[in-house]
Amino acid sequence: MTRRKAIEVITSQLQENAVVISTTGHVSRLLFVVDDQPRNFYMQGSMGHAVSIGLGIAVNRPACKVVVLDGDGAVIMHMGALSTVGHHKPKNLVHVVLDNESYESTGGQSTSSGTTDLVDVAHAAGYSSVFNVRDERALRKAMESVLTQQIGPSFIRVLVSRGSELENLPRIPEKYSVADTRRIFMEFLESE
């Protein structure tokens, strides 16, 4: 599965109460292309902080499903955030890691996710439900479980391919400044 396909599968299953926080790099750019919505917060720049932002929203907006689209490199960079999630245990937080075992956005250097089992890490950190998926069908099923049941915090590791899916991929600032991204997202949250 490509990251793009995974993002299409995930966003196609979201209900109106969902918000999406996406990690810096290609993941945000792909979300922007696949499903640009006021409910999206594109975290541009601060690598590894998407789940901390998601945690804050999940705790303060219990009626929302907060879906974090993360990268393996970003999760490893701020792995301590998983412990904070496991400590606060928001049932409405869904942490999806698109794991291509690399820092694809900056040239495809390998991460250590091939030797660190992120699913085990999330489980040990206190996430209530963890999934390890490798194909579209399993991803759909895992998403259905976490979106229809209050079983979070949930962690879904999605094995995705490395590869060049980025030709002509637009950049978010071509449409929104960083301040626009924040304003649009906050207006959406306040309307919820």
Ligand X SMILES: Cc1ncc(C[n+]2csc(CCOP(=O)(O)OP(=O)(O)O)c2C)c(N)n1
Binding site for ligand X (CB under 6 A): 23-27, 45, 47, 71-74, 100, 102-106, 111
Least distance in angstroms from the C-beta of 25 to ligand X: 3
Angle between helices 3-12 and 26-34 (to 10 degrees): 50
Nearer to ligand X, 103 or 127 (CB): 103
Nearer to ligand X, 71 or 90 (CB): 71
Least distance in angstroms from the C-beta of 111 to ligand X: 6
Phi/psi region, residue 171 (left: phi>0; alpha: psi -120 to 50; beta: rest), is: beta
Nearer to ligand X, 64 or 104 (CB): 104
Least distance in angstroms from the C-beta of 168 to ligand X: 17
Least distance in angstroms from the C-beta of 101 to ligand X: 8
Nearer to ligand X, 76 or 138 (CB): 76
Chain residue whose CB lies nearest ligand X: 71
Least distance in angstroms from the C-beta of 112 to ligand X: 11
Least distance in angstroms from the C-beta of 113 to ligand X: 8
DSSP, residue by residue, the chain: --HHHHHHHHHHT--TTEEEEE-TTHHHHHHHHH---TTEEE--S-TT-HHHHHHHHHHH-TTSEEEEEEEHHHHHHTTHHHHHHHHH--TTEEEEEEE-SEEGGGT-EE-STTTS-HHHHHHHHT-SEEEEE-SHHHHHHHHHHHHHS---SEEEEEE-------TTPPPGGGT--HHHHHHHHHHHHHH-
Nearer to ligand X, 27 or 133 (CB): 27
Nearer to ligand X, 68 or 93 (CB): 68
Compute the CA torsion angle 75, 158, 62, 74 (nearest 10 deg).
10
